[in-house]
Amino acid sequence: MQPLAVDAALLRAALTPELNLSVGRELMVRVASADTSGRGTLSLAGMLLDAELPTDVKAGDELRLQVREMSPTRIVLAIQEDSTPPIPPAPVEPARVPMPTGGSLQVTERDARRPAGQDDTHTLSLRYDTQSLGSVEMTFTLGPSGLRLALTVPRGAPHALTETAAPELSDALTAASGRPVLITITPRHEPLEVYA
């Protein structure tokens, strides 16, 4: 693997907010320009980044890069050869965001599995831990036919309260999104412990 360096602030600006830049992360870039002095420009997500490049890299090359070192001002990337297996990034537990009225919200899944033939479908799954309802799992699926919201709530009073509020929630989501909304509510099957 051959090292190259880019300006840390420019690289972070080119990345989307949900993409955590960490050692081991891989990026695909295209070489926009390269000269014989070892300087060049990389194209990442439509942004051009000045970089120190190996002398054998030329304009038009597509490179698979892996983050090797990080500092506040400079990020060192290594060109991955096709035969080198990628180092998977360390799993990151999604942050829990405290809510103003209590409880917390956590993103649990984002577009992880799309049904075959549904490229225009986007999915976001959240878990909302509330004081009054307990843990509520929400899966939003946005597609050409509208928005589907699947809620999984604890059995009993939380389930009954959610079913009562569903029409008002559907109306509010329809007004906000301008699309038809279908809400399904499923009671959560809690584990059963049996002692002999």
Task: For residue 170, tell me if it sits in a domain.
Answer: yes
pLDDT by residue (tens digit) across 60-72?
Answer: 888 888 888 877 7
Residues 55 and 133 in one domain: no
Range of the domain at 181: 96-187
Do 121 and 183 lie in one domain? The reply is: yes
User: Per the domain annotation, does 85 fall within a domain?
Assistant: no
Q: Which CATH number do you get for residue 46? A: 2.40.50
Give the end of a domain, one of 24, 47, 79. Answer: 79
Tell if the pTM clears 0.85, that is, is over it. Answer: no
User: Are 71 and 120 found together in one domain?
Assistant: no
Residue 111 is predicted with a pLDDT of: 61
Residue 47 sits in the same domain as residue 101: no
Q: Are residues 101 and 179 in the same domain?
A: yes
Q: In this predicted structure, what is the pLDDT of residue 79?
A: 80
pLDDT-derived band at 83, boundaries 50, 70, 90:
very low
Q: Is residue 49 domain-shared with residue 105, that is, in the same domain?
A: no
The three-state (H, E, C) secondary structure of the chain, written as one string: CCEEEEEHHHHHHHCCCCCCCCCCCEEEEEEEEECCCCEEEEEECCEEEEEECCCCCCCCCEEEEEEEEECCCEEEEEECCCCCCCCCCCCCCCCEEECCCCCEEEEEEECCCCCCCCCCCEEEEEEEEECCCEEEEEEEEEECCEEEEEEEECCCHHHHHHHHHHHHHHHHHHHHHCCCEEEEEEECCCCCCCCC
Domain membership of residue 180 (yes or no) is yes
pLDDT digits (tens, 9 = 90+) for 90-140: 666 667 777 767 777 777 766 644 555 556 788 888 888 887 788 889 898
What's the rounded mean pLDDT across residues 83-87?
48
CATH of the domain at 182: 3.30.750
